[in-house]
Structures are given as structure tokens and as C-alpha cells.
A and B are shown apart, each in its own frame.
Chain A
Amino acid sequence: MAVETLEASPSQPTPATRRRPGGLARKPRSWSLPKSLGGWIVLAVCAIATLGMLVPVYVIITTALSGSTGAPNFFLAFPDAPSLDAFKGAWTKLHGSLINSLQITIPAALISCLLGSINGYVLAKFPFRGSNALFTVLLVGMFIPFQAVIIPVFQFLNMLHLQGSIFGLIVVHVIYGIPITTLIFRNYYEGIPSAIVEAASIDGAGIWKTYLRVMIPLSAPGFVVAGIFQCTNIWNDFLFGFILASPAAWPATVTLNNLIGTTTVDYSELMAGAVLVALPTVVLYLVLGKFFVGGLTAGAVK
């Protein structure tokens, strides 16, 4: 069960070339133009495919810019008079739930990362009899369709009088985030030489002291990978918010879906809303892309 959090490995020398997602910086990067016909064909195919991948992004942005004149009559048309008017309407309708999403995402991601870090440390450095089997039992929770537990979860939140609240959503996201964060940290800590832990225990440090004094200072990359992954997951969650949250606690994804409405759809406002909802995770991805990939491969079991 390996998560190769590639950049997040302390035992790795920092390469001279800036490492990119996918760990492909094996050869020094060359910026030469293709030297053969085949090379040009490869480049052309990549460029065309990439442009194709960008079509939906272009569509979201141009439609959002079409402003008060309404969406264009053709989805690829560039608006005649680009304006930010649609964003005003979208912001009015969405800003409350964007704040909700933030209030749900940040605490839930932090707490689940902390728990995952403690679990991962124990599993990686102090394996006990049956720990692997129990870890596998824990991992199943990562893959279940949440509909299979949603009724008991709903009743459980009712029992604690947390139904519909932001706090209730945080609790649910933390609980169901434990398997994935445990997996990420366990694999990250396995990359840290056990000699360090041994040295600490020879010096008389116990499990906790070793964790706080030795492991935590080395954990920054692991926290970044797990944190980005969890922030993206929780921010983009729809199912829990849709079923468990009351309108006052709706996350942004649910409010955006409600903009679709039942009869007519104001596509320019809808797309402006889509930009607002997508922006935080996209910025996170563009700025910290290499760590993002580390979390992405987290589900990969050997």
C-alpha cells in the first residue's frame, strides 16, 4: 500500500532542477525544439489535445464574462461586451455559502490531518501484531459509497442535536477523512529513516516525545500533501452538504447547484458562480501542484 508522496520525502536530495508532479525530473530538462518529424508530431498532438481540454474552462470563463446581456447564443462565442456584471449577482447569492465552505473545510482538514499524522506515525514506526490487517480494515472506509451510512449518520447527528449545522458537517468530514490521511502519513513516515526514531528512544524519549520533538518537525511536507488533498476533497464535497446541511449551513457546491433552478437557467450567472466555487481549489492546485499530485496518488495501493 504505497502512497508515493514524491516530493514529500525527506530522504531525498533536493535536485537541482525544479521537480514537477509525476517525478519526471529524471533527465535534466531540455528546452530544445523537436529535432525530428516525429518530435514535431508529438508536440502538435499534445498542443491540440491540451487546447481541447481547455474548451470547458474557456466556456466557463467567457460565459461568466457575458454579463447582463445574458449568455451568448452559441457556447464558443466570445461575448460582445465583456463585463463582470454576472459576478455581482453570483457573489450576492454565493458569498454566504462560500464562507460556510471555508468554515467547514479548514477545521475539518486540519483535524483530520492531525489524527492521520498520529495514526500514520504509529503504524509506520511502531507496527504491532495485526496492525497491517487493522489498517486494511480502516482503509475500506475510504471507498464506501457514503449513501450506505447516510441514514445512521443523519440519526446520529440528530441525537447530538448537530443536525444541519456546520459543526456537524465538520465532525462527519473528520471521521470519514481519517482513512485517507492515515494512509498518506503512514507512507510518508515510512520514508523517514527509522534510525532517527531509534536514536530518540535510546536517548530515553517515549512514543509521544519522539513524535513531538522528532517527527513533527520533519512532517511539514506530509502535512502539505494531506492538507491540500483534504481541503480539495472537503471543499468539493456535495453529497454530505446536500443531505446533511440546513440551508443556513449549505456549502458553496450546494448553493451553486441550486442556481440551476427548475425552469430557466441564467447561464452567465451560473458560470460566474462556478468560477467562484472553483477558484480556491484551482489556485491551490496551480501554486502547490507537485504536492497535489502526492495526494492524488494516495489511493494507489501497491
Chain B
Amino acid sequence: MTTSTALPPAPVPPVSPGQRSKKQVPHNVRTSRRAAWIFAPSLLVSFVFVYVFIGITVYISLSNWKIGTSPDLTLRQPFGGTYGEIIQEQRFQADIRNVVIFTIIFLVLAIFGGLIAALFIHHVSVGKGLFRTVFLLPYALSFIVTGVAWRWIFSPSTGVNEILRSIGIENPPGWTTDTTILGALNDPSGTDFLKVQFGIPVALLPIIFAAAWQLVGFAMAMYLAGLASIPEEHLEAASVDGANTWQRLRHIVLPQLWPSTITCFVLLLHVALKIFDLVVAMSGSGPGFVTDVPGIYIYNYLTSRYDKASAMAIILLLLTLAVIVPYLIRGYRKERKA
């Protein structure tokens, strides 16, 4: 049984009633039926507040409901017109670009940063506890606290730009208010469907750094747990066979850290898609929606356009489920096999 965060002892996998193991309570049908009734209320509440409420949101996104206080539950014609309306918006397209760029760079920084930090901290001879504590400290903070700190670090007049100017960079970037797009792939004319430049907005970089700073410790903790579960014997055997450090890392350590990587990838990806408070605290939508994200879009339209807010929320939900559902099903299947 490989565990992604293999901290001993491995929990006993549950066994379905058909295959009783010695570990399992012998329980009769009556007991398990009563147990099911104990679990039922929580399940019912969750079902209503998650699945039914998502259903309601889907319906609102297809309706003509605009202002919260005056419900209009007629279906919009043509069907799904709100989705058609928003995907043509410059703001929507900017949001999708931003969330994609944010996610990619953030994942690379947090996962590689966490992996490298874990490899070093795992092998350090002194002060392991201190290093680990400091790396994980930001995780205990609210994104709002992280946001105000990094807002100050990247404030154009008094922040890192002071350092950039002192080393001779005349015009440092305006950071969260900078409208430059690095490596732009296209030149939108405004008449076509595409209304935004696809590339890396400079304004997103401070927000990405802040998010990576807050969550790199999470990745580190996952990898440290993975490293702790690698049997010493494997590494010793490899040394005896004459493998050098790099070969041991490549052929033994990294393959065994794969479960940790999958966990980090999925959990951090879903954090990245949902990013909201950090952006609110650091920049808001920014000029030309250069730092806008789906979360802020939805928030803004909650006061004027229920249909648009709901449509964007459903698009965001689908993106999240595309990542999470395969992961959960994989865990479920593994348990069945166990």
C-alpha cells in the first residue's frame, strides 16, 4: 500500500461487508443499517448544500434573473445565451488567460520549490525543525495577510523597485498596475472573437510570488513525508552497487515521491483555480482586467447580474471538477482494491 503522505502507521483500509477481514468489526446487517442512518443527516445536508445548490446555480445561469431582489426565473432565449454572452467579453477572456497563466507558473514554483526545499531540509544536519517550521509558517496565514504584505513589497515607489533602481534599472515595472504582457502570442484587433492578448501579464507576477510563498511549505511538507517513507535499505543497497547521489535521486527517490507530486499537483491546482482573496488584497481587477480572476468577476456581478455571476461560477466549477473528480475516483478505486 503506497501512501502519498506516508506517515506511519498506514490506516487500515475499510472493507466492504462482502470481504470481512480480521481487522473489521463483525457486524450484522441491522447494525450497519443503523450506522447508515447515523451518517444520513450529514450526507443529506451536504447533498442539498452542494449538489442541489449547484443545480440551482446552473438554472440561474440559464435564466433571466439579473438582480437578486427581483427573481426572474424564466429561461433565457436562446438557451444558454448567458454563456454565449460572457465568452465574448474581453473581461472573461482576460480572466481565463490570467487563471491559466497563474496556475502554470504558480504550480511550477510551488512544486519545484517544495521539492528542492524538502530534499535539502531532509538531509540537513542541524536545525531541521527550525527550517521546516519557517517554510510552513505562511500556510497558517490568511491570504489577506499575505496579500497586504506582498502588496507593500511590490508597491512601485517603495518596494523592490528601490532595489531595481539602485542596480541601474531605470524604469522598473509598475507591477500589479503594469499592463505589459510578456511573450504575447496574438494582437487582438477587437473585431474578432479574441479580445485579449495571450501571454504572461507582468501584473500577475507579484500575485503568483505571494501565492507560491504561502503554499511552498505545503508542498515541502508533502515531500518530506514522502521522503520519510523511503526505506533506508533501498538507498543503502544502491550505494553498495555504486550508485552516486544523482543516480540514487533519479532512480530511487524521485519515483517514490510520485504520489506526493500527484497530491501536491491536484490540491495546489484547485487552490489556484479558486484564487480570490489574495487578488482582492493585492490588486483587484487591475487596469484592463490585467489581474482579474473568475472569483472577482463573480463577486462583481453578484449585485447586478445573477445570471452572469452564475454562468462564470459554473465554468469555474467545471474546471475544478475536471481536476478533482478523477483524483477522488482514483482514491476510491484504490480503497476498493485494498
* CB-based contact A1/B332 at 8 Å: yes
Minimum Cβ distance to chain A for residue B272 (Å) = 11
Interface residues on B, range: 35 or more
Mark contacts of A175-215 with chain B using CB atoms, 8 A cut-off: 1 yes-contact digit, 0 otherwise: 11011001000010011011001100100000100000000
Contact residues of B between 265 and 321, Cβ < 8 Å to A: 267, 270, 273-274, 276-277, 280-281, 294-295, 298-299, 302, 306, 309-310, 312-314, 316-317, 320-321
Partner of B25, one of A71, A126, A143, A300: A126
| Chain B positions within 8 Å of A11 at CB level | 9
Q: Is B11 interfacial (CB-CB < 8 Å)?
A: yes
Q: A6-B7, A144-B50, A297-B221 are in contact. Are A128 and B128 (CB under 8 A)?
A: no
CA distance in complex: A32, B146 (Å): 35
| Chain A positions within 8 Å of B143 at CB level | 236, 238
Partner of B42, one of A115, A232, A282, A292: A115
* CB-based contact A296/B139 at 8 Å: yes
Q: Is A145 interfacial (CB-CB < 8 Å)?
A: yes
| Chain A positions within 8 Å of B107 at CB level | none
Minimum Cβ distance to chain B for residue A159 (Å) = 12
Select the stretch in A80-88, A149-157, A216-224 that faces chain B.
A149-157
Q: A49-B120, A150-B302 are in contact. Are A75 and B228 (CB under 8 A)?
A: no
CA distance in complex: A279, B155 (Å): 24
User: Which one of B34, B149, B218 has the highest number of Cβ atoms from chain A below 10 Å of its Cβ?
Assistant: B149
| Chain A positions within 8 Å of B127 at CB level | 43, 46-47
Q: Is B237 interfacial (CB-CB < 8 Å)?
A: no
CA distance in complex: A242, B159 (Å): 28
Partner of A126, one of B32, B132, B221, B316: B32
* CB-based contact B277/A238 at 8 Å: yes
CA distance in complex: A129, B295 (Å): 39
* CB closest chain-B residue, reference A189: B11
CA distance in complex: A273, B151 (Å): 14
CA distance in complex: A151, B325 (Å): 23
* CB-based contact B43/A12 at 8 Å: no
Minimum Cβ distance to chain B for residue A241 (Å) = 10
CA distance in complex: A175, B253 (Å): 40
Q: Is B108 interfacial (CB-CB < 8 Å)?
A: no
* CB-based contact B144/A238 at 8 Å: yes
* CB-based contact B132/A20 at 8 Å: yes
* CB-based contact B158/A71 at 8 Å: yes
CA distance in complex: A235, B277 (Å): 14
| Chain B positions within 8 Å of A247 at CB level | none
Main SS of chain B's interface residues?
A: helix
Contact residues of A between 86 and 109, Cβ < 8 Å to B: none
Minimum Cβ distance to chain B for residue A221 (Å) = 13
Q: A138-B43, A145-B295 are in contact. Are A127 and B14 (CB under 8 A)?
A: yes
* CB-based contact A126/B31 at 8 Å: yes
Q: A2-B4, A34-B125, A122-B38 are in contact. Are A53 and B43 (CB under 8 A)?
A: no
Interface residues on A, range: 35 or more
* CB closest chain-A residue, reference B57: A148
Total cross-chain contacts (CB, 8 A): 378
| Chain B positions within 8 Å of A293 at CB level | 136, 221
Minimum Cβ distance to chain B for residue A253 (Å) = 5
* CB-based contact B39/A122 at 8 Å: yes
* CB-based contact A75/B160 at 8 Å: yes
| Chain B positions within 8 Å of A54 at CB level | 134
Minimum Cβ distance to chain B for residue A28 (Å) = 13
Main SS of chain A's interface residues?
A: helix
| Chain A positions within 8 Å of B57 at CB level | 148-149, 151-152
* CB-based contact A243/B17 at 8 Å: no
Q: Is B263 interfacial (CB-CB < 8 Å)?
A: yes
| Chain B positions within 8 Å of A274 at CB level | 144-145, 148-149
CA distance in complex: A115, B54 (Å): 23
CA distance in complex: A29, B124 (Å): 11
Mark contacts of B115-143 with chain A using CB atoms, 8 A cut-off: 1 yes-contact digit, 0 otherwise: 00100111111111111111111111111
CA distance in complex: A9, B137 (Å): 24
Q: A149-B57, A296-B218 are in contact. Are A31 and B126 (CB under 8 A)?
A: yes
* CB-based contact A289/B329 at 8 Å: no
Q: Is B88 interfacial (CB-CB < 8 Å)?
A: no
CA distance in complex: A75, B218 (Å): 27
Minimum Cβ distance to chain A for residue B297 (Å) = 9
CA distance in complex: A161, B271 (Å): 32
Partner of A147, one of B8, B39, B152, B295: B295
| Chain A positions within 8 Å of B310 at CB level | 151
Partner of B162, one of A3, A46, A57, A74: A74
| Chain B positions within 8 Å of A73 at CB level | 158, 162
Nearest 3 interchain pairs by C-beta: A126-B35, A301-B331, A6-B7
| A residues in contact (CB < 8 Å) with B | 1-6, 9, 11-12, 20-24, 26, 29-35, 39, 42-43, 45-47, 49-50, 53-57, 59-60, 63, 71-75, 115, 118-119, 122-129, 131-134, 136-141, 143-145, 147-155, 175-176, 178-179, 182, 187, 190-191, 193-194, 197-198, 201, 207, 232, 235-236, 238-239, 242-243, 253, 256-257, 260, 265, 267, 270-271, 273-274, 277-278, 281-282, 284-286, 289, 292-293, 296-297, 299-302
Other than the given A24-B227, A267-B152, A278-B141, 19 more pairs (CB < 8 A) read A2-B4, A20-B132, A23-B225, A46-B127, A126-B32, A127-B15, A133-B332, A147-B309, A149-B53, A150-B298, A182-B42, A194-B24, A253-B142, A257-B148, A270-B152, A273-B148, A286-B133, A296-B136, A301-B327
Q: List 26 A-B contacts (CB under 8 A).
A: A22-B221, A23-B228, A35-B125, A42-B125, A46-B131, A53-B213, A57-B149, A60-B145, A115-B42, A118-B38, A122-B38, A122-B39, A124-B14, A127-B17, A128-B36, A132-B14, A141-B49, A145-B295, A148-B57, A149-B57, A191-B9, A265-B151, A271-B149, A274-B149, A292-B140, A296-B221
